[in-house]
Amino acid sequence: MRLTIITSITGVLVLVYILELLRRQQLREKYAAIWLVIGLVVAPLGFFPSILDSTARRLGIASGVSLVLFAGIILIFLVSLHLSWEASRLEAETRSLAEEVALLRSHLVEHHGYPVRKDGTAATPAQDTEVYS
Amino acid sequence: MIDGKRVLIILPAWNEAEGLPGVLKEIQTELPGVDTLVVDDGSTDRTAAVATENGSPVAQLPYNLGVGGAMRLGYRYAHLHGYDVAIQVDSDGQHNPSYVPQLLAKLEEADLVIGARFAGQGDYTVRGPRKWAMKLLSVVLSRITRTRLTDTTSGFRACNKQMIEFFAQWYPVEYLGDTIESMVGAARCGFTVRQVPVAMRERTTGTPSASPIKATVYLTRAGLVLLLAMIRRMPPHLKNLAHAAPARQPQRQLVGGN
């Protein structure tokens, strides 16, 4: 009985947190969609941990809880792999942008007297943490 | 201009304010008529200012991208400004610019020319796992490029126009990618690679990794880089660049054909 309370509360909290992140525009829809789907699938399991028991037994797994644990690990693995892939892609994009900026700057310095700081260091790029801006 | 060709020397530099003036002056006296480009790879010292003071254009990256990123920027600059030849030289003074004419001469028969140590010139030696790694690399890369290569990790290299365009679009950014993988990629796409013996000087700044553990790690990483370079899918459109390169072997005459 206690397990049901803990898991159901956790499930609801996670769902609420995802919705809150979405509302504050801190999460892109494509990622939010994944997490919402996961949240919606997992939340009922919090209330009724035994609903997967029959499926688990058919797969040769002792209980529904074990099945959820196994599926969860696979899911987390896939999500982190996807994030690594996204990070690689983003790194390639920012790399190209940095190169482009350097090319443009060198051209402007040569032809139009783009101001160069006295110590020759690059001006600090503007930091932006908002996803939508 | 050397022999009617516009030549650009690319110097990737990361915090090299100390050694850079000497290297630039040496290039300007040894090779008059050659342009230089210092790629400031997000240095925190006066690298960019020093380069400007010594009369070289600078491409300044907003943050550190590593040698691969700096080199692709150099090749993009060379391509954008229509250079016929690009030569990569380290800005720590290891590479002697007096060998540049020999690299240029070899470009007559190749798309990519490597300035190689251990090829008769100079007395640069290494030992232990690092030596095995270099041996393994030279054996495997010699097979891939179908020519004898003795120093595959040399950063002293010259490229012709097609090679510049290729590297402007594709240049590996991972560890050892700037030397090993770039060469494998070029060879796999059909470019010709050759080497010219050069003597290397003691580096004026920095120290090479010498401990056996570091050398073993080096061997492992080199093997992994090589494996990845062999199996990676090359962007198909890049292969056309190699085919656009001037043919080296005289075409067999078609007798009686129309």
With a CB cutoff of 8 Å and minimum separation 6, the contacts of B2 are B31, B33, B34, B85, B101, B104
With a CB cutoff of 8 Å and minimum separation 6, the contacts of B194 are B106, B109, B110, B112, B113, B114, B147
Q: Closest approach of chain B CAs to the CA of A124, in angstroms? A: 8
The model carries a pTM of 0.80
Q: Identify the CA nearest to B109 among candidates B50, B194, B31.
A: B194
Do B113 and B103 touch, CB atoms closer than 8 A?
A: yes
Q: CB A98 to CB B62 under 8 A?
A: yes
The CA distance from B62 to B46, in Å, is: 14
Mean pLDDT of all residues in A3-32: 83
Q: CB B57 to CB A110 under 8 A?
A: yes
Nearest-Cα residue of chain B relative to residue A117: B49
Chain B residues whose CB is inside 8 A of the A118 CB are 49
pLDDT of B123 > 60? The answer is no
pLDDT of A53 > 80? The answer is yes
Chain B residues whose CB is inside 8 A of the A87 CB are none
pLDDT band at B133 (very low <50, low <70, confident <90, very high): confident
Q: Closest approach of chain B CAs to the CA of A34, in angstroms? A: 30
The whole-number pLDDT of residue B202 equals 67
Q: CB A119 to CB B44 under 8 A?
A: no
Q: Does A90 touch chain B (CB under 8 A)?
A: no
With a CB cutoff of 8 Å and minimum separation 6, the contacts of B121 are B197, B198, B199
The whole-number pLDDT of residue A92 equals 92
* Percent of chain B clearing pLDDT 90 (strictly above): 47
pLDDT of B204 > 80? The answer is no
Structural domains of chain B sorted by starting position, each given as residue range(s) with its CATH number in brackets: 7-251 (3.90.550.10)
The whole-number pLDDT of residue B142 equals 93
Q: Closest approach of chain B CAs to the CA of A111, in angstroms? A: 11
Task: Say which residue, A63 or B21, is predicted with more confidence.
Answer: B21
Q: Which tens digit of pLDDT belongs to each residue from B28-61?
A: 999 998 999 999 999 988 899 999 899 999 999 9
Mean pLDDT of all residues in A5-9: 81
* Side chain identity at residue A122, one-letter code: A
Chain B residues whose CB is inside 8 A of the A122 CB are 40, 42, 48, 60-63
The whole-number pLDDT of residue B132 equals 79
ipTM given for this complex: 0.78
Q: CB A109 to CB B43 under 8 A?
A: no
B128-145 and B212-231 are packed helices; what angle lies between their axes, rounded to 10 degrees?
Answer: 20
Do B241 and B165 touch, CB atoms closer than 8 A?
A: yes
Mutate to test the interface with B, among A88, A93, A94, A106 (most CBs of B within 10 A): A106
